[in-house]
Amino acid sequence: MNNNAKDLKMEINKSETVNFYANSTNLTSSLFDFSITFGLQSVDNEEGKVLIKQLCNVAMSPQHAKVLSGLLNGQIINYEKQFGEIKIPPVEG
């Protein structure tokens, strides 16, 4: 049997997929990997502090991170063509 990548069919199993919303990300890298931590940021007005609940950490090879970067950039370009420029508010002090 020929197992060339182009001959293989992909099957995606979504039975254990966990979905969540993240409005906080932290990126770290080393020689061997990139890590992205996704979290949910909120404000505790009584304590006067920002709270971040870390939800998930994804680690990947530098090669995979570069491919992901290209895919995200392509999606953003397509989104902006359809809906207009994504405005990023200025970060305060």
Beta strands in 1-92 (DSSP E): 24-29, 34-44, 49-60
Residue 2: other Cβ atoms inside 10 A: 6
pTM here is 0.75
Q: Where are the domains of the chain?
A: 21-83
In angstroms, what is the C-alpha Rg of the chain?
Answer: 18
**21-83 — its CATH code?**
2.30.31
- Residues shown for the chain: 93
Residue 36: other Cβ atoms inside 10 A: 17
- pLDDT value of position 21: 95
| Mean pLDDT of all residues belonging to the chain | 92
11 against 1, higher pLDDT: 11
